[in-house]
Structure 1
């Protein structure tokens, strides 16, 4: 039963070709007039409301498709002051780690009736500024951001001034905003303690990057474990750069050329570790039996390599899901104190680590 009374299932509907309504201009009123029902009935039917008889709901939805009706999100946002869009800004989605984060975010936001609008900017601060400004123009209800290297609190000042709720993901720029990430220092400590337990003393760090919080914290864990074991940091065993396959390959070959080369390496992330494994093969050596390598992130690909990669699991599914939940909570309560969640990583031992050779 509807506010306009029952609608006959046999009421004729003109074919789409006979309609003169321009696509993109179809309104609820046009559909209602076409079917001789109220606009309230049309609105409820398009939302799948059980208050509308199934036969009516089917006819309304079919007519809407034939007329080319599309939901006017802009008009709805003016009525509710909400767009139900969440902006997501990532520096990189070619890295499977961030693709996995994004999948978890999208799954969670969809379950809460929101859509996401994605912007990417590499490690380019100027491009990041342009992308964030563009995302802001779409009036998202809030944003989840993984900032480019070198970002500062001022980077987000224009978003804060505009009143955009924000959550930092993986990379932390300021304690004044919500943050969800992994305890990166602890993760590298786990990796280093594993290698030292296997008898390694000459341990390289591949793709050191102090411009991002993840890089700074992982390198700090590396230095802390060396100091704890009375091992000085050897600059010839530290290769700087972004965590890419290319830099991983270059890095492993650079440290192998050191006067006193390493027997093992901790890599900034799994991508760098994959590159290091390939670099070893260029030298006729294999990760595991000939040289120990540990990555970080435990992307799905890590278990599929041969040998499978020993790595640090950062639980990116939980990170992505929690960041979305944090943002939805922040939108509901903008004045709440900032929240900070550090997930505890875990060491996953596979085939790329082995005891140091005597």
Structure 2
């Protein structure tokens, strides 16, 4: 069985001291570039891998960052995972991806585990129930950036989509097509995205002089079952909506099934507008119109903010945590049509 290659083996092969080999491979800038390049080449040829635990004890860093999301069903979370991992890897960090299923208990366990692993930082879509734990982690020197949702209980650095404006633009688009009974399927109202997308919908209706009808709104967990249940409930009405606005990606999957169950054609029988874009929506026939929440831009900005705080000698966070917004935009395709006269 082949023995593990040690730093001593690398130093002997390069005919330098162990201290020189250590500095060169750590990239501390205390050796020449040519020496660093030669040591890295020799280390690679020998198959040397540094002891991350020992290095972490010495430098007080692990080069690990936690990324915590609810699921990978949502296209925005998949984009977030891909972009954040790519951006952090380019800076020498590895990403630990964790899934909470939007469950506060699972989230609390994950936060504790990541703290035990001494991650250098954390990007999280919070459930809204573990703000104190996140704030403690942040105040103790592990930067935390919230994304997609705000934790209402504490002030944390947060990157959000312009959800009120996005939902307003989507609802107004349907109103301009002549729709007056617009069913809304939305996430939990105690969450940032659920509450703000509902507020944008209401504002557009009120500006158009249409009274808000709570019975046209179905709110629930971020899962396909919410979309299916909401679709069935709205389609069972005697005054069935002429359009559905599905305000999160998970619910959209359930709505597509619900429409198929009733053999309803989009947009001939009912118009359909979804929130959060994904490639499949453009490939559908008809292609589905969406309000794009800017997942890539949110992921890039979240990575930017965390990396800024991870840099040596980074300035301490502002007394009031900053909130950043990424603009949402309406993408018109072929799933919405004017109401027949």
Selected match of 1:345 from 324, 328, 334: 328
Question: Between Structure 1 and Structure 2, whose CA radius of gyration is higher?
Answer: 1
Match of 2:305, SS state, is helix
Q: What CA distance in whole angstroms lies between the structure 1 residues aligned with 2:102 and 2:36? A: 53
Q: Tell me the residue number matched to 2:309.
A: 330
Tell me the alpha carbon deviations over residues 97-131 of structure 1, each in whole angstroms, 9 at most, x when there is no partner. 10111111111112222211122111111111001
Q: Tell me the residue number matched to 1:357.
A: 340
55 and 327 in structure 1: CA distance in 2 versus 1, 3 angstrom threshold: closer
For this pair of structures, how many residues does the alignment match?
332
Task: Write out aligned runs for 1:58-97 (5 A).
Answer: 58-63=41-46, 65=47, 69-97=48-76
Q: What CA distance in whole angstroms lies between the structure 2 residues aligned with 1:192 and 1:53? A: 59
**Normalized against structure 2, the TM-score is what?**
0.89
Q: Tell me the residue number matched to 2:131.
A: 153
Q: What CA distance in whole angstroms lies between the structure 2 residues aligned with 1:196 and 1:202? A: 9
Q: Are the counterparts in 1 of residues 181 and 242 from structure 2 also a CA contact under 8 Å?
A: yes
Q: Tell me the residue number matched to 2:140.
A: 162
Q: What CA distance in whole angstroms lies between the structure 1 residues aligned with 2:109 and 2:336? A: 43
Q: Are the counterparts in 2 of residues 44 and 51 from structure 1 also a CA contact under 8 Å?
A: no
Q: Are the counterparts in 2 of residues 237 and 261 from structure 1 also a CA contact under 8 Å?
A: no
Q: Tell me the residue number matched to 1:244.
A: 223
Q: Tell me the residue number matched to 1:312.
A: 291
Following superposition, the deviation at residue 246 of structure 1 comes to 2.9
Q: Tell me the residue number matched to 1:139.
A: 118
53 and 183 in structure 1: CA distance in 2 versus 1, 3 angstrom threshold: closer
Q: Tell me the residue number matched to 1:256.
A: 235
Q: Which moved more, 1:150-159 or 1:75-84?
A: 150-159
255 and 155 in structure 1: CA distance in 2 versus 1, 3 angstrom threshold: farther
Structure 2: unaligned runs, 5 residues or longer: none
Q: Tell me the residue number matched to 2:150.
A: 172
Tell me the alpha carbon deviations over residues 186-236 of structure 1, each in whole angstroms, 9 at most, x when there is no partner. 100000000000000000111342121011100111111122222222232
53 and 140 in structure 1: CA distance in 2 versus 1, 3 angstrom threshold: closer
Tell me the alpha carbon deviations over residues 236-290 of structure 1, each in whole angstroms, 9 at most, x when there is no partner. 2211212333322221121011232110111122332232233112111112121
Q: What CA distance in whole angstroms lies between the structure 1 residues aligned with 2:37 and 2:120? A: 33
Q: Are the counterparts in 2 of residues 236 and 258 from structure 1 also a CA contact under 8 Å?
A: no
Q: Tell me the residue number matched to 1:294.
A: 273
Q: Tell me the residue number matched to 1:194.
A: 173
Q: What CA distance in whole angstroms lies between the structure 2 residues aligned with 1:55 and 1:217? A: 55
Q: Which moved more, 1:53-62 or 1:324-333?
A: 53-62
Q: What CA distance in whole angstroms lies between the structure 2 residues aligned with 1:221 and 1:109? A: 34
Structure 1: unaligned runs, 5 residues or longer: 1-16
Match of 1:287, SS state, is coil
Q: What CA distance in whole angstroms lies between the structure 1 residues aligned with 2:293 and 2:243? A: 21
Q: Are the counterparts in 1 of residues 65 and 95 from structure 2 also a CA contact under 8 Å?
A: yes
58 and 141 in structure 1: CA distance in 2 versus 1, 3 angstrom threshold: closer
Q: What CA distance in whole angstroms lies between the structure 2 residues aligned with 1:204 and 1:349? A: 18
**Normalized against structure 1, the TM-score is what?**
0.85
Q: What CA distance in whole angstroms lies between the structure 1 residues aligned with 2:279 and 2:98? A: 24
Q: What CA distance in whole angstroms lies between the structure 2 residues aligned with 1:236 and 1:200? A: 16
